[in-house]
Amino acid sequence: MFLGTVVYAQQPAHPFPQHAHCYKGVIVPSHISQAALDKTTANFYDQWKPRYLKNVPGKPQSFVWFEGKGGKQCVSEGQGYGMVITVLMAGHDPNAKFTYDNLFRYVRTHRSQRSKYLMAWAQKNNGQDLDKTTATDGDLDIAYSLLLAAKQWGNKSDINYQQEARAMINEIMRCEINPKTWTILLGEGLDDESGDWFATRTSDFMPAHFKAFQKATGDNRWEKVIDAEYKLFKFMQDTYSPDAGLLPDFIIHLNKTPKPAGAHFLESVYDGQYNYNACRDPWRIGTDYILNGDRRSKAIVVKINTWVRETTSNDTYNLSAGYTLEGNDIQHRYFEALSFVAPFGVSAMVDAKNQAWLNKVWIYLTGFKIKDYDYYDNSIKLLNMIIMSGNYWE
């Protein structure tokens, strides 16, 4: 069973679609059959969906539940995760389109201050927006999910996914990309007088998304963003993490000499370390090699793969939830954090030398129960399982 059935508007769904038709010379877990990979991924989705997708009472809208943390009902980051997951799982879930459309209507109800196409980054438990600014990563995933939806279901229903995707992609370029450095802004509430204008969150670099954006809009400025960010990441690895290849949560001084952010730049004392934002980097960057064969992607994650296998002695039970850029554990965090574990599995896919390690990561990752983790860990786990099982597509 292929979980991500592609249903073209002019053709009926094929009952036996092919797997991973756009993967380019990469590996998937080899210790179990493809059918078992599919079943494990589908089973986890069947647990994830009722736990995290919630309906707005009396309205045709749904949101990805933030579990009420900090008084929040939803954040755009989670909404983006949910929308990508839902459209990719349409070959398994016959109600996926209905669910997806409700998720999209929630996005359109919670618009940012500057653009009706971008999403306000957080909603309180009463459903009101916390403020009207955005978080770029959420918008990027939502826009990408619309391209997937157009491919999956066509554009003849009440939502023209392709048109909505193009409008949103153009607004991301206008509001969330720095035109001076071609780097990714933290959100659309910034201007060139802001102290954060020359800062970026490393996990917002999603080069496979950006290549799809360029194809969908014909806007070659996305190529400038891709080139600038790959150049920046190589500089950061070479300068600040030559042994481990790790990237910090945030990079600052992009108009001068880039460097890791200091403590409490935006979120925590670990803003300049490989923490709960940067843990997504191996997945976001590695996906570009998996889909497009970009060697810059492979070069970055190979460095990380080599380090993580060495530092753990190829034992997933030695993984920690956070590292300094030198590759040392942050305060001996030896607890399991699936948001750190899962992306190492995706990055391992780029080289056959990692086959045994990839198998171990899959076994380790899928052994944890959904009740033991929050929306962030479980959603990243599921997204990365979809990729590792061969069910991701552009």
The model's pLDDT over 200-226, given as tens digits with 9 standing for 90+, comes to: 999 999 999 999 999 999 999 999 999
Looking at the DSSP assignment, which residues form a beta bridge with residue 124? 72
- 272 located within any domain: yes
Give me 47's structure tokens: 């647990």
Q: Is the pLDDT of residue 9 over 70?
A: no
The verdict on whether 192 is a catalytic residue reads no
Alpha carbons 356 and 367: distance in angstroms, whole number: 17
Inter-helix orientation angle 338-348/295-312, to 10°? 120
Beta-strand ranges (E) seen in 172-272 are 200-201, 250-252, 259-260
Residue 1: pLDDT band (50, 70, 90) is very low
CB of 273 within 8 A of CB of 249? yes
Residue 26 lies in a domain: no
| Mean pLDDT score, 329-354 | 94
Which residues span the domain enclosing 384? Answer: 34-388
Contact of 288 with 299, CB cutoff 8 Å: no
For residue 62, being part of any structural domain is answered with yes
Over the stretch 301-323, which tens digit does the pLDDT of each residue have?
999 999 999 999 999 999 999 99
- What is the CATH classification number for the domain harbouring 314? 1.50.10.10
Would 147 be classed as within a structural domain?
Answer: yes
Element counts in the chain: helices (H) and strands (E): 12, 7
Report CA 126 to chain centroid distance, whole Å. Answer: 27
Task: Note whether residue 28 is domain-resident.
Answer: no
Residue 193's pLDDT is what? 74
- Predicted pLDDT of residue 4: 55
For 326-355, what is the mean pLDDT? 94
pLDDT for 230: 98
Does the pLDDT at position 251 exceed 90?
A: yes
| Residue 6 token pair | 């592609």
The mean predicted confidence, pLDDT, of the chain is 93
pLDDT mean over 177-202: 91
Q: Which of 127-141, 181-195, 226-240, 377-391 has the lowest mean pLDDT?
A: 181-195
CB proximity list for 73: less than 8 A, separation 6 or greater: 54, 63, 65, 66, 123, 124, 125, 126, 127
- Domain membership of residue 123 (yes or no) is yes
The stretch 333-352 carries a mean pLDDT of 95
77 flagged as catalytic: yes
Banded pLDDT at 191 (limits 50, 70, 90):
confident
Does 45 reside within a domain?
yes
Give the chain's domain count: 1
Identify the active-site residue in 38, 129, 137, 249. 137
Does 7 have pLDDT greater than 60? no
- For 19-73, what is each residue's pLDDT tens digit? 444 687 899 999 999 999 999 999 999 999 999 999 999 999 999 999 999 999 9
Does the pLDDT value for residue 16 go beyond 70?
Answer: no
- Residue 88 near residue 148 (C-beta atoms within 8 A): yes
d(CA 299, CA 320): 23
* Whether pLDDT at 15 is above 50: no
Q: To the nearest 10°, report the CA torsion of 258, 260, 265, 271.
A: 150
Residue that has been written with the tokens 């935006």 in this structure: 266
Q: Decide if pLDDT at 325 tops 90.
A: yes
Assign 3 a pLDDT band (cuts: 50, 70, 90): low
Let me know if residue 95 belongs to a domain: yes
SS3 143: helix
Lowest mean pLDDT, pick from 7-11, 95-99, 203-207: 7-11
Tokens of 176: 């969330």
